[in-house]
Structure 1
Amino acid sequence: MCTTPSSRLLLRLIIDVVILIALCCFALIALPKILPTTRRGFFCSDASLHYPYTASLLSRVHITITVIALPAAVMLVVEMLWAAVRATRKSTSPTATTAGKCSGVQRFAFIGINIPTFVSECYKIVGVYFFGLALVLIAQSATKHFVGRLRPHFFDVCQPQLLETLGGGLACDRSASAAQNVTTGYIEDYECYELAASAELLSMARQSFPSGFTATVCYAMCFVIFYLQARLSASAFLMLKTLLQFGCLALATMVAIERFYTHYNHWTDIMAGAFLGFSVAAFATICVAGLFKGIPIKSRKPREDFTRIYGYYGANRVAKYY
């Protein structure tokens, strides 16, 4: 058995965990308190804001399971499967040398414990995934507060009333005096009815763009789709890979439809969230993790009647022989 001791592994692990926790706390806790939500006005004739408020079919628990538990489980199972297949190939290869066999069972020594290679590789890809997820959370949270777009059920939740300086009363009351001339123009001076809804719901009614649920779920599902495309490249896994990818795509589509069906987001909010999730997933898998990147290392001298040129490919730097 070959071991690869790493005195810096513990330090790297601590730094990675601290960075991920800091990014998540910044996106979920600090950023909403630092950035005030932009206050936007409205037109009473805007039909896109007159939809009734309905309870969402999805909760934060559902989204947490979808973007954390499900991708992590898929990546862990795939890494274990790929490690088993790779070990089988190396053990049955007639050209396997002593060094090759040694690398096939290579382990990392961490605090006196031998850790299988697939565990460290799984940690790398999962770490990249959570790093990209934190970027999505930061981007969508900052955009929501900066844009401050009103949700389709804004009127039903807010029940806006004019300020006392404008005569008070409902902002969009069609029976109001025409002399005030406030129902036909752009209304900015208003307040939500204090008993209409909770403070959290009133705050969320101003944060429609982009769709946060769509952005995070699209990121998670696109990341898994790209990951499966890179890792399950063997023809034996074609049906399994296609089935899993289709399931991920269907799940992301269902979440987007739910946000539109329950009047929580405009269709443009959903498209923006899907684009954000897809873009960050492509950046994380291609640029950060390098799942589709082949790195040639070196070539050996001719041995007998053939030349073996080998390199590494994929996130796990798996040796590929020619």
Structure 2
Amino acid sequence: AGREAPHLRQIMFYFQLVIMAGTVLLAYYFEYTDTFPVHIQGFFCYDKSFSKPYPGPESASKIPPVLIYSLVTAIPTLMILAGELCTFFIKAEGVREKTIVTADCCYFNPLLRRIIRFLGVYAFGLFTTTIFANAGQVVIGNQTPHFLSACRPNYTALGCQTTLQYITERRACTGNPLVVMAARKSFPSKDTALSVYAAAFTAMYVTLVFKTQGTRLTKPTISLTLLCLAALVGVVRVAEYRNHWADVLAGFFTGGAIAVFLVTCVINNFRWLQPGAPSPRPQRPESLLGMPMVTLPCVESPLEKLSGPQVRGGGGCEARLRSQHRR
């Protein structure tokens, strides 16, 4: 069994690499190809909720996607590197740990393994958030607030006379097809989801890992700053008529839920688990069959009161209590 364990670890390691590669590939197909067509929703004539002015391409935004992608990649990476280096050199001991790749021949520094673990999980969550957001946009096909400005429908040809008339024709739009297709992908807000995911993951890392003295106000300040920046992304998306409030809130929920799940269930709240560390000492059970044990009052027996010290055993009720306490 001892020889089979390294082989099993190698198999699981390569299996995780396959999962990571599949996640990256799926995110690429959602983002840069037309493999998954967007659902075409209809619209009401002269609908005011979709009649906001066209704000221009995404690159013209005050917070363009390139800036968001750079920040959600750089800030958590730098924070994790700095935190792990500080934690390792201050608290951790230099324990040599066997690598999961080459099993018995080589050794792997626990610091490097922990950094790769956290950054790998973070990258996996980043691509997963992208997949969830893109999948929601493709399946739902909800229009942006500036949809009609990008669509430029010919109301005369469509026969629009009242605002209650619903248009379902796929060729109703006369605008740029690429701009119209982008205007059909609003729910949930992908930029907001990525920002919240990065902010929540980094905030939980800072809160759970940094345990040194003097960080009572530093950790909340860093965490709240990151969360405020993520919220600012959502506010800008709404202010520029690129998303509805419902889209932004859905992005908040998507990114935050993925971050909480990965931190709590996958990497166990960033705990430092040393290899070969002794297991915690089992505590004495304090209940039987799920019922709490209650200490009953001690009552002196009449025989103990009438007998001499040699019969009572030199202690009576008090001796029994001391013996119970030692057990």
TM bucket normalised to smaller:
0.7 to 0.9
Letter in 2 for 1:299: R
Q: Which residue of 2 aligns with 1:257?
A: 235
**Paired residue for 1:299, among 281, 287, 292?**
281
| Normalised TM-score (structure 1) | 0.73
1:33 is paired with a residue whose SS is coil
Q: Which residue of 1 aligns with 2:62?
A: 57
Q: Which residue of 2 aligns with 1:20?
A: 20
Matches within 5 A, 1:203-214: 203-214=181-192
1:155 aligns with 2:148: yes
CA distance in 2, matches of 1:124, 1:200: 39
> Where does the alignment leave 5 or more consecutive residues of structure 2 unmatched?
1-5, 283-327
Deviation at 1:7, TM superposition (A): 7.1
Deviation at 1:23, TM superposition (A): 0.3
User: CA 1:39–1:219 in 2, change beyond 3 Å: closer, same or farther?
Assistant: same
Alignment RMSD, CA only?
3.0
User: CA 1:12–1:106 in 2, change beyond 3 Å: closer, same or farther?
Assistant: farther
**Paired residue for 1:185, among 156, 159, 165?**
165
Deviation at 1:242, TM superposition (A): 2.0
Letter in 1 for 2:96: R
Deviation per CA, 1:256-301, whole angstroms, max 9, x where unpaired? Answer: 111111110001100111011111111111111110779992329x
| Normalised TM-score (structure 2) | 0.72
Matches within 5 A, 1:60-75: 60-75=65-80
> Where does the alignment leave 5 or more consecutive residues of structure 1 unmatched?
1-5, 88-103, 163-167, 301-322
Letter in 1 for 2:149: D
Deviation at 1:207, TM superposition (A): 0.7
Query: Of Structure 1 and Structure 2, which has the larger fraction of its residues in strand?
Result: 1
Letter in 2 for 1:108: E
CA distance in 1, matches of 2:21, 2:137: 22
Q: How many residues align?
A: 266
**Paired residue for 2:91, among 71, 86, 91?**
86
Percent identical:
27
Deviation per CA, 1:187-239, whole angstroms, max 9, x where unpaired? Answer: 11252544x33x33221100110101001110111111111111113443323
Matches within 5 A, 1:1-322: 14-30=14-30, 33-54=34-55, 55-87=60-92, 104-108=93-97, 114-161=107-154, 169=157, 171=158, 181=161, 184-189=164-169, 191-194=171-174, 196-197=175-176, 199-291=177-269, 297-299=279-281
CA distance in 1, matches of 2:7, 2:70: 35
1:213 is paired with a residue whose SS is helix
Letter in 2 for 1:26: L
CA distance in 2, matches of 1:204, 1:8: 45
Structure of higher CA gyration radius: 2
